Structures are given as C-alpha cells and as structure tokens.
Structure 1
Amino acid sequence: MTATTPDEKLLVQMFEAAIKAADPKAALAAYLPAKPKGRVVVIGAGKGAAQLARAFEELWDGPVEGVVVTRYGYSCECDSVQVLEAAHPVPDPAGLVASQAMFDALAGLTKDDLVVALVCGGGSALLAAPAPGLTLEDEVALNQALLASGAPIGAMNAVRKQISAIKGGRLAAAAYPARVVSLIVSDVPGDDPAQVASGPTVPDAVGRAEALAAVRDHKIVLPPAIASFLDSAPEDAPDPADPIFAKNEVHVIASAAKSLEAAATVAENAGISAVILSDSIEGEAREVAKVHAAIAREIGTKSRPFNPPVVLLSGGETTVTLRGAGKGGRNSEFLLSFALEVEGAADVSALAADTDGIDGSEDNAGAFVNGQTTAAMRQAGIDPAAALANNDAWTAFDAVGGLFVPGPTGTNVNDFRAILIR
C-alpha cells in the first residue's frame, strides 16, 4: 500500500527518517579503526551486511578483502568483499557454506592484521554452523522451535550460542591473534552487542546453565537432539575474559534509539509533539498492542497523559507465540491487535514496521491502521479477531490493501512503531 492520507504520509516520513538515521555509510564513518601493519579482512552477517560492506569499502583508504552473508535478495555489489546469500529466518545449507567461508577468510592471520566485523540483525539464522555432534537439521529444528516459542531474544540467543560452532564469540576466537573490531547495528532491546546475531564476534558470560534456565522458564520445547546436547555439552561458549579477546573493540554504530529520535524530529517539524515511549519494548506482540492502544485511547478521549495532537513512538522486539497456521510477522500481529482495540476511533492512525523492510517471512515491512481498519476487513470478508487467533495478520491486511511494502532497507534497528493521535 502507498500512503494516501496526510497522516499516513507523515507516518511514512517518520519511518524513512528512522531508516536514514541508521544509514550504513553515515553510521560507519565515525567508527573507522586505525590502519594495521598487515591485512584488513572484513567479515559480516545480517540483513544489512552487504550494504555495510559496500559502505566500508567506500570509506576505507586501502585494500580490503573478506566475506559477508546476507538474506536472499538483500545483496548488493561490492568491489573486493565477497557477498554470499543464505536463508532467513530458518537456516539452510548456504548458511553452512557462508560460515565456513568466514572461517577460511580468518585462517592464518597474524597480530599485525585487522578483522572488521560488520554485524546486524538476522545474522543468527544466516550463520549456520552446528556444534560438533549436531547437524544442520538439528539447528533448523531448534530455530523453528525458538521462533514458535514466543521467548524473548535473550533467551533464544542463550540457547543458540551453546549449540553453535560460530556464535557466542567463536568467530572472533578464530581470528586470533589478529585484532577484531566489531561494528554493530543493533536490533535488540537494550543494544547489548553480544545479542545481535547471537554475538559471533562478541562473547558474553551467559553459559549452559543460563541456557537451560531459559528453556525451563520460557517452556521452550527443544528438539530431542538439541535437548540431549544441551544437557551434556562439554563446554560453554567462550569466556569474554579470555585474553584472546583483550585487544578487540566493540562499537554499536546504529540503534533504535537514534532512529526513533530522528522520527520524533520529523513529527515536531510538522507541528506535532512526539513522545518516545521506549526503544526496547519486549513482550507478546498482541499484548504490547493493547497497552499502546490504551494509551492512545486515553489521549484521544481525555487528553492525558499527553495532549493531542501527538505521535507515540516505540521500538524494540516483540514476539509471537504461534497458535495458528496463518501468515504474518510481529509487526502485523501488533497492528491487528491494535486495530481491534481502537475500533471506531476517528482520531488514531498507526504504522508499525520492521526497519529491515521485512516483517516475518512475507514481503511487507508492516501495515497501516486506523479506527476503520477492522470494519474494512469485515466488509472484505475477513473476521479480524479470528485472523488474530490464527496468526494470520498478513491475510487480513492484504484483503484491505493495508500492507506497507518499502522493500529491503539495507539496515536493521528492529521494530518501528508510530501512533498518531489527532
């Protein structure tokens, strides 16, 4: 859907400002490392990894080499860095090839060499590399179980790191004795760099005990092979205090916070107050939507806690517990739940979208909503409540032409939500 009303156009302008604030070249420029005596090897993973690699090549004054992996359809041409593609959100054999290519690129480095790791959201699935004793099929089954669980990203990553040969700092360990500078576009609540793409170059202190606790606390149903491995894994992921990481640097170069601030400026320039609720909201998408809707209704009917007109902005990463067999993603599920809560309101409109341009596994980033959206769905033969129960938000929005399809953005700072109350 192309924005048609003035309010929808303003919402899109805010989204575009958020994307621009996370532009790879602008984000990288302030964090270029000092030149080494030896080689410069670029590695990277994520939905915006190819764009980051191209931007680095344009900014770097000197020869570079290396390899990055991105999602199918998200690549761009680089001069000397090889760009590979693999599947997301469920790993495939191409991810195994990409992971091995990165290990090969790091082989034989010396203390005079520099490794630049360009990491952004989506890298967990793209870097397929099961631990010894496990198979790609095991990793695929784990990923499917995690995606269906509704567990927060920290819990999912705690498990992923323990069953991987590349995550949890293992890729950085393979680069030793070369220095590794990780330049990270954060798509996780709180901007912990060890959580982005499950931290291939950034170890953390979360070990097997924490992973087992996450499985228990979030009632994650693990595939039998993964459960057995996790119960008897010979060792934890690398320790961040290990001396091999002592010379390394980690920088978060773009985040949801910076993008939301840019969106707020667009609203304020249009004469509308902007409030950033949070850049790190987690929780079940449909429940988070109810809270946002309650605030919007309170503003619209009682002018509290903020006076209209106002835009509510938020970011973070919600989750979806799969209950049905429909199509959609966390942003479209958020919006369908939100639409049901603001049904009939004449003064509310909203856009929620994934900043990488893809919400879930379909081709939309999100969708538009207003107080008449659910009535339009019913007129089109869709019961919005039934669609929500079946996790079928994509079908519901498609039926009314409400999908927002900007295409791949080349970056990823997680979810973007903008709610305009007139």
Structure 2
Amino acid sequence: MRPAIRGLAARAGRVSLASDPAKAGGEDLIADIAASTSRAASRPVRDDLRTLFDTAVHAVSAEVAMPRTLPISAHGRTVVIAVGKAAAAMMRVAQARAARPLEGLIVTRYGHLPPQGTAGPGVEVIEAGHPYPDERSVTAAAQVLDMARGLDAGDRLLLLLSGGGSALLAAPAPGLTLDDKQGVTRALLQSGATIAEINCVRKHLSAIKGGRLAVAAGPAQVTTWIISDVPGDDPSYVSSGPTVADTTSLAEAREIIAEYGVQVSPQVAAALANPANETPEADTLGLAGVETRVIARARDGLVAAGAKAAELGYQVMDLGDQLQAEARHLGASHAALARRLAKDGRPRAILSGGETTVTVTNKSGRGGRNLEYLLGLAIALDGAPGISALACDTDGIDGTEDAAGAIVTPDTIARAKAAGLDPQRHLDRNDAYLFFEELDDLVVTGPTLTNVNDFRAILIGSDE
C-alpha cells in the first residue's frame, strides 16, 4: 500500500562480529582490543558523545557540502532562493563562491540566522514559522512565486533547499486558508505519521509544493541543491519538493488522512477531492528537465562520525540512516541491542540516523522525538553499566523546544528517582524534555544552520 511512501521504511545496517577474538586475528587483535578499551575509558563519555555529534554536524554543514562552483546563467539573471533551516548558511556560502553578486531571498525559521550576518546587497531575509506555518510563511511563499514568475528564458533559478521548507513556505491551495493548513499540519505531526506521509498531504493542499515552483519559473533553468533531512533522501519529500516532480496522488493523501483518523475541515476535505489539486506531472510540464542534486545527507554525517569513533577507540556498528519507528520503541530496541553487545567488554559505538515518530497523547507535554527515544532507551537499560547514549536533531532543535536532544548515562534512572522523577510517567505524558531538563542532561547547541535529521550514538565501555 502506498509504495512511493512505504518505500522509505526503516533499514538497519548489518555487521559481522567475531565471537572469538583469537580466531579472528590472534593475539595481535586481542592487544588491539585492550588498547582501544584503555583509550575509550580514559576520556569522559559525555565528551566522546558530543565529539561524535559535532563531527556529524560539521560533515553536513553548508561550508563542507556546497559545491565550489555555482551554476550562474551566462546570458541572463541568476536568482538564488534559499529555503529551510540551513538557508542562511547556504546563501552565505553561495555569495562567497559566486563569480559576481547574487540577487535573491532567504526564508528560514525564526532564530536560524548566523550571528555574523546573513546576506550581502540584493538578498532579502524572511523569518517564518516552524513546525507550523504562520502569516510570514504565506508572505514568503507569495514572494518566492512572484520571483519565479518574473524569470525569462536564459535566466536561472538556483534553489538552495533544506528541511523545514514545508512550513516556511505556505501557499494554501484555492479555497483554503492558513488556519486550514495549520490545523492539518498540527494533527498530522501529533498522529505518528511519517514525514513522507505528512508531506504527501501538504503537497496536495499547496500552490507551491510538489513541483509547482518549478512550473512557476516557466522557461528559466531551474537548479536545486538539497541538504536532505528525509530518510531515503528522495528529493521530492525534502520541504515537500517545490521544484521536484511528485510521485504521490490525491488518493494517497486521502488514504493517509483516513489511516491516522485526522479530522479535517470541510474545506480541506473538498480540496483533497478536487482533481485540480493533483500535483503536476513531470512529462507534461517540463519538470523532467529540472536539475536536482542532493549535496548532503544523514549518511555523510554517520560516515564522518563513524571514522571519528574508530579514531577514539570504538568498534563501530552503523545501523543506517533510514530508521523510522515510534521513538520510544526504537529506544527500547536499541537498549536491548546495546545490552547484548556489552557482554564481551569491548568499547563499541552504535550509530544510527533517520527520523522517528511520536504519537502525542498529552498535547500539553514538552518533548521531541530524540528525547522520547532516549527516555525509552534509559528505561529499558535501567542502569545497565557501561552504556551511554546521545540523540540529537542535527538542526539543533528537537521538536519545538530549545534543546537539540540529550544524553543518557548509566546513572540516569538512579539520579531521576533520587530527584523524585518517575521516568515512565514522563514518557507516558510526552514530557521527556522536563525529565532531562531536571537532570541537567539536555544538549543545547542553538541552531546549527544545517539539517539532515536525527543523529544517535550509543557508546559501550564507560560507566562515567
């Protein structure tokens, strides 16, 4: 059912583990393991966890990911529009590497502007709402569409796209209001639906998503560079693919609404039944010729973090960058894996990425998917010695709070109980943020100005 969406399901990497170190390489290997154990145990585990996260974030930063040469129109105008949580950083790098001054627009989340300045002459900045669109999102979408419609043959639109654009650009389909879009977005985000499912619905309620921005650009050349925050890195799902041909349908959008029991307004129901809101077909509207390139993805961050973990003395298990599951359940599953691997005493790093989901039962709760993952993991570990973990969103914001994520150590549950906290109650109430805040275990980075979604690391071999 819904193969275009279900194809983004979770995958886990596989590794082979030698059961007998002597058989796998003899005494030299045993000596190597002993040396690695000593190196890993000689540093605070919190430092190692933060080092791995920082390494992953740097690997997917605009400075590292952006190509050195920009596609500048030889004979016409080049308009650059940067949208998403990495928009300001991507535009800054583009301006530094451009052969001549650029004109364009930055659309990003409130607070996601670099302290050293955002843009030079000719580039405007709009900050808008996320994860829920606001009036500024509507203004931004209208301005982006106007800029695209003003392009001629020989001109080029360079779209620098990163996660968050689905909320930052809100152009309700005819007959819909911003309130309609906000209501659907809120209900879907709280339902446990995946980002692919949510964006499928968004595309069919929009005048800019699902390839419609490329259509608006008409005869101009359209190039899109993407920092991907979706499992599987399908460009049509990043920020709901404003310049990328859509493979989903109105029927699938209606099915998603029904599956998750989302209550929609009569206007939204009518829009999802209106054939006019079907997304453009690539072969009939020229989208097949649009150039699209994913320049950074979660895999890049995991590879960099894996290399750093090995350098720090850990044996690395990479579970992949496409894990999708209910956050608390994935945390419990990873706790069981860590317990098994901890039995041989080797220092190990279990790394993973992707995007979990949270089914919200307490709408006044405070938390995010990484915090729910960690609380589920901590409860399942129940103080198991030598196992610590970090889970953070690479954009620096987990959900709607000010933390990127948090850290779990072997004494997390004991410290919580000593402080009068009930871990299971906090999890049941979707209050993981308050739990980790009370323990002073939140990871607060501020906006990182990039976004490839979640980064998780479990380190085995330190009791801290």
Q: Is the 8 A contact 2:245 2:288 kept in 1?
A: no
Q: Specify the SS of the correspondent of 2:187.
A: helix
Q: Which of 173, 180, 187 does residue 138 from structure 1 map onto?
A: 180
Instruction: Give a deviation string over 1:174-206, Cα, whole Å, max 9, x none.
Output: 111101100000000000011001111112121
Q: Which amino acid aligns with 1:49?
A: A
Are 1:61 and 2:99 an aligned pair?
yes
The CA deviation at 1:32 is 3.0
Query: 1:14 — aligned with what?
Result: 52
Q: Is the 8 A contact 2:338 2:387 kept in 1?
A: yes
Q: RMSD over aligned Cα, in angstroms?
A: 1.5
Q: Which amino acid aligns with 2:88?
A: A
Q: Which amino acid aligns with 1:26?
A: V
Q: Please say which structure displays the higher CA radius of gyration.
A: 2
Are 1:262 and 2:300 an aligned pair?
no
Partner Cα separation in structure 2 for residue 132 and residue 10 of structure 1? 51
Instruction: Give a deviation string over 1:279-329, Cα, whole Å, max 9, x none.
Output: 01111101111111110011113x4xxx72110000000110101121011
Once the two structures are superposed, the pairs formed by residues 206-221 of structure 1 within 5 Å of their partners are: 206-221=248-263
Are 1:404 and 2:446 an aligned pair?
no
Partner Cα separation in structure 2 for residue 31 and residue 377 of structure 1? 52
Q: Specify the SS of the correspondent of 1:280.
A: coil
Query: 1:376 — aligned with what?
Result: 415
Query: 1:101 — aligned with what?
Result: 143
TM-score by length of 1: 0.95
Once the two structures are superposed, the pairs formed by residues 18-417 of structure 1 within 5 Å of their partners are: 18-30=56-68, 32-33=70-71, 35-76=73-114, 77-79=118-120, 80-301=122-343, 303=344, 308-324=346-362, 325-417=364-456
After superposition, the Cα gap between the structure-2 partners of 1:32 and 1:273, relative to the gap in structure 1 and judged at 3 Å, is farther
Q: Specify the SS of the correspondent of 1:242.
A: helix
Q: Is the 8 A contact 1:67 1:105 kept in 2?
A: no
Q: Which runs of 5+ in 2 are unaligned?
A: 1-42
Instruction: Give a deviation string over 1:220-242, Cα, whole Å, max 9, x none.
Output: 33344322321234340111223
Partner Cα separation in structure 2 for residue 173 and residue 23 of structure 1? 29
Q: Is the 8 A contact 2:173 2:271 kept in 1?
A: no
The CA deviation at 1:31 is 6.4
TM-score by length of 2: 0.87
Q: Specify the SS of the correspondent of 1:349.
A: strand
The CA deviation at 1:214 is 2.1
Instruction: Give a deviation string over 1:330-352, Cα, whole Å, max 9, x none.
Output: 00011011110111211100000
Partner Cα separation in structure 2 for residue 30 and residue 224 of structure 1? 49
Percent of aligned positions that are identical: 46
Mean CA deviation greater in 35-44 or 354-363: 35-44
Instruction: Give a deviation string over 1:137-191, Cα, whole Å, max 9, x none.
Output: 1001011111111011111111100001111111111111101100000000000
Partner Cα separation in structure 2 for residue 281 and residue 148 of structure 1? 19
Q: Is the 8 A contact 1:357 1:365 kept in 2?
A: yes
Q: Which runs of 4+ in 1 moved over 4 A?
A: none
Aligned length in residues: 415
Q: Is the 8 A contact 1:155 1:215 kept in 2?
A: no
Partner Cα separation in structure 2 for residue 375 and residue 400 of structure 1? 11
Q: Which runs of 5+ in 1 are unaligned?
A: none
Q: Is the 8 A contact 2:405 2:444 kept in 1?
A: yes
